[in-house]
Amino acid sequence: MSSNSVKTDWILGINVAGHGASLCLLHKGTICFFLKEERVSGVKRDFTMPMVSLTEVKKYTKHLDWVVFSNTDIPDQEICRVSLRKHKISVSNYFDDNPFGCDFIDEKDIYAAKAAGEDPLPLVIRNKLSTHHINHAASGYYLSPFDEATCVVMDGWGHVGDLVPLMQDDFYDGQDLEFGHRLYEHVTVFSKIRDDDNWDNQWKLLYKEVATDAFRASEYEDILHSWSDVEDAIIDLYKTRLDFTNLRLASSISAGVMYESITGYLGYRVENVGKTMGMAPYGKEDDNLPPFHVGSYYDSNANLFHPSLLLNDIPYPQLREYRDDFDKRVNLAYAVQKALEKKVIFVIEKAMKLNDCKNIVLGGGIFHNIMVNGMLVEKYPDYNFFADPLCDDSGHSYGISKLLYDELTGEHIKDNYDNVYFGPHYKVEKLENRIRKQIKKLTQ
């Protein structure tokens, strides 16, 4: 659906998420301003409403045709509205991709809006755009040099929403889980083609890996269900709401969550996974470690973790030796890195089979792992890879703004790849000299 009568000159995207708040301003479909709040607040992974960044908007325009929210709750949205009024910035339309805690909007809601004389356009758009992963995919795609691509998104969580309200009322026999009744999308694969005449034809959903922590929660609350009950309910949910059944039901302990858990076990903050990745090249195969298998079944690696997601060293007491000894710590990092790479290879090769396209866009937090990205380039030389530089949730403000513009206008505008700043460039020789000087200084 597109509506050329709806003004789209200025679109402001706002994202608030646990991995970083951000703001993106589009002018006639082209990015003119993007900023992560942490860059100006000085708070690492700042996920509060980007108030400091918001003050920059008035330098570009005093009127916004659309403000679109991603991963943003109602109180934060109201804070934004107040701030925009304070800065005397007028707004014609607001759009929220996820106001109800879930990403599925029934057709009856659209009909109800029409019957009430309300504009149904935001609901119609939300049915198309409101998945966490399509924001990731769009962020990478619109920055990439490709017109057509397979977009692979892999997250640690990829949170969708509450599980119980989306299912039958009697699924839990009238009992609501008090802990963790959530649904996750760990992996999604899209086909993206350029079709300026048909927006619906541009994005096609090819594959998803979905998980729930219902079993993990049931260990706390003594509410037990067979896996087939949960599996049937989730497949029915996607079939009826999205007309999509190409699902793989997986463990809530995804490859990304496993990586974070082991990072915590090594003594770091769980989000400091870069430290674990940096240790991995110093490690080697260690037969004393249990297998870190991330397979296709919900319990494939569950024995390695407590229900609290912490690494479980009770059945594997030898793991306790890996906290202090450097040689053992790097072996643990090596093991989880190899497990992650194995999972990524499985997903990438599945995407290759599902879509005959040599261009692959990598999005989602997993692809912050540069060792994984380098491995893919080396392993598949016949394919062209592009890793989203905004692959954490901060890229959502950009991704959803571009999606909204395309949906409203029917136009397809790629940002100028050459003008996107991806960070400073360094010559290898200079880096080597700096490293040698630092080593000499530390060893004197």
| Distance (Å, whole) CA 256 – CA 63 | 40
Q: How would residue 52 be classed by pLDDT, with cut points 50, 70 and 90?
A: confident
The more confident residue out of 126 and 312 is 312
Residue 185 backbone phi and psi in degrees, to 5: -115, 105
| Distance (Å, whole) CA 397 – CA 55 | 16
% of residues, the chain, pLDDT over 90? 34
Q: How would residue 441 be classed by pLDDT, with cut points 50, 70 and 90?
A: confident
| Distance (Å, whole) CA 298 – CA 40 | 41
Q: Which CATH number fits domain 1-144+392-419: 3.10.100.10, 3.30.420.80, 1.10.1270.20, 3.40.640.10?
A: 3.30.420.80
Per-residue pLDDT reduced to its tens digit, 318-354: 888 898 898 999 999 999 999 999 999 999 999 999 9
Answer whether residue 167 shows pLDDT above 80.
no
Per-residue pLDDT reduced to its tens digit, 257-316: 889 999 999 999 888 899 999 999 999 999 999 888 766 555 566 677 776 677 888 888
Cβ 352 vs Cβ 304: under 8 Å: no
Of 104, 56, 121, 103, give the one whose Cα is nearest residue 83.
56
Structural domain spans, the chain: 1-144+392-419, 145-387
What's the CATH number for 145-387? 3.30.420.40
Contacts of 237 (CB under 8 A, 6+ apart): 104, 166, 167
What average pLDDT score do residues 116-138 get? 64
What average pLDDT score do residues 35-57 get? 82
Of 400, 432, 421, 407, give the one whose Cα is nearest residue 72.
400
Per-residue pLDDT reduced to its tens digit, 239-248: 766 666 688 8
1-144+392-419 and 145-387, same CATH topology: yes
User: What's residue 414's pLDDT?
Assistant: 81
In a 10 Å sphere around its CB, with 0-12 CB exposed, 13-18 middle and 19+ buried, how is residue 85 labelled? exposed
**What's the mean pLDDT when you consider all of the chain?**
79
